[in-house]
């Protein structure tokens, strides 16, 4: 069984080929990983960064990707504004989205992560609007869920990094790097 941890950079697709590109091809996993037979366990949107697990074990892939297993996924989100206690409590209680109520999340404000790499292109900075980092742990995987949750409580996500999936973390992995789990 092969399982690898990959720190997916911003603007990279979570697949090995780019079938939907119009014009110049977009970066894919094949630009970073040359291991036959491994596939992404779950997804991470092109505009999100961070931990992506790849494996050749179908059972492990299903356990990671299928929401019924409720595997915890922790994200670091840079959000617009400074969420107050009421906004954080709303995330903890579950947020109503167009596709239903989210499960309760663990959430807390945090300092900018130590050793955080710069994003290319950088997040837009506005002098008149402060921003803040939060750590958010969810146990489901609705499409673009973290971004939709933070927007629903009035704090749109500016930058999103998946830090952990279950017990696996990004520790020691620079963007574009991978290691065996």
What are the structural domains, with CATH classification, of the chain? 1-68+167-181 (3.30.70.580), 72-165 (3.30.70.1560)
Q: Which residues are catalytic?
A: 45
Question: pLDDT at position 70, please?
Answer: 84
pLDDT tens-digit map of 16-51: 998 776 777 899 999 999 999 999 998 899 999 999
Task: Quote the pLDDT of residue 37.
Answer: 93
pTM, entire model:
0.95
> Could you tell me the mean pLDDT of each successive run of 10 residues in the chain, 181 residues long?
97 89 83 94 94 95 84 96 97 96 96 93 85 96 93 97 97 97 93
pLDDT for the residue 161: 98
Count of residues making up the chain: 181
Please tell me the predicted confidence (pLDDT) of residue 49.
97
Asked whether 83 and 153 are in contact (CB, 8 A), the reply is yes
Please state, in angstroms and rounded to a whole number, the distance separating the CA atoms of residues 49 and 27.
Answer: 13
Q: Taking the CA atoms of 110, 111, 112 and 114 in sequence, report the sign of the dihedral they define.
A: negative
Query: 73 CB contacts (<8 Å, ≥6 apart)?
Result: 137, 138, 139, 141, 162, 164, 165
Task: Give CA torsion, residues 24, 142, 168, 52, to 10 deg.
Answer: -10
φ, ψ (nearest 5 deg) of residue 150: -65, -35
Count of Cβ atoms closer than 10 Å to residue 77 Cβ: 25
Angle in degrees, CA 39, 46, 100, rounded to 5: 90
């Amino acid at each position: 069984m092969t399982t690898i941890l990959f720190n997916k950079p911003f603007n990279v697709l979570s697949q090995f080929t780019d079938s939907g590109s119009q014009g110049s091809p977009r970066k894919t996993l094949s630009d970073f990983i040359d291991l036959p037979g491994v596939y992404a366990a779950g997804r991470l949107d092109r505009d999100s960064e961070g931990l992506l697990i790849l494996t050749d074990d179908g059972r492990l892939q299903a356990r990671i990707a299928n929401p019924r297993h409720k595997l915890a996924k922790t994200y670091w989100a840079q959000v617009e504004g400074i969420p107050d206690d009421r906004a954080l409590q709303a995330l903890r209680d579950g947020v109503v989205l167009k596709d239903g109520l989210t499960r309760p999340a663990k959430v807390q404000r945090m300092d900018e992560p130590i050793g955080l790499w710069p994003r290319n292109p950088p997040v837009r900075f506005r002098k008149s609007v402060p921003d803040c980092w939060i750590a958010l742990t969810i146990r489901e995987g609705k499409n673009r869920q973290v971004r939709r949750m933070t927007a629903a409580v009035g704090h749109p996500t500016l930058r999103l990094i998946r830090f952990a999936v279950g017990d696996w973390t990004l520790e020691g992995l620079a963007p574009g790097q991978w290691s065996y789990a």
